Amino acid sequence: MAEMTIRRFGVLSVAKMNAIIWFIFGIIVGVLYGLFFILVIPAITSLGPEGGGVGATESISAGLIMIVAMPITYGVMGLIAGAVGALVYNILAGIIGGIKFEIEGVQQAYTPPPPPPDWAPNPYPAQ
């Protein structure tokens, strides 16, 4: 087992990875909230005494906006949070040391290469 320490993170690489992860979360949350606004709220407002005609169109447009805006918002916030988190880690790792972890390598048994094929000189040399 080898003990290693993470001393620094690449700020931009952490920020990009975090942005992509949070963008995917934003898609999931945006679709859930968007479908709720598109399907459930118009159904609830249609039960009222007025029928909910105008309120239904507003909630449908709000649901569509959420489906588009939430992934973008989550992605931008993930980018900012990843960059700030990596910067703070790099500063603290310089002061108190990084995160230590152990890795264990799985070594496979050595298998020798196969023997070379039988070789015979060319019986018809070029002239």
Per-residue pLDDT tens digits for 29-54: 999 999 988 888 777 777 666 655 55
In 3D space, the residue among 5, 18, 9 whose CA is nearest the CA of residue 74 turns out to be 18
> Can you tell me which residue has the tokens 């000189």?
121
* For the chain, domain boundaries: 2-103
Q: How many CB atoms lie within 10 A of CB 18?
A: 21
Whole-angstrom distance, CA of residue 117 vs CA of residue 105: 34
Q: Which residue has the tokens 């988190």?
A: 85
Residue pointed to by tokens 């700030």:
84
Please give the pLDDT value at position 95: 93
Whether the model pTM is above 0.85: no
pLDDT for the residue 51: 56
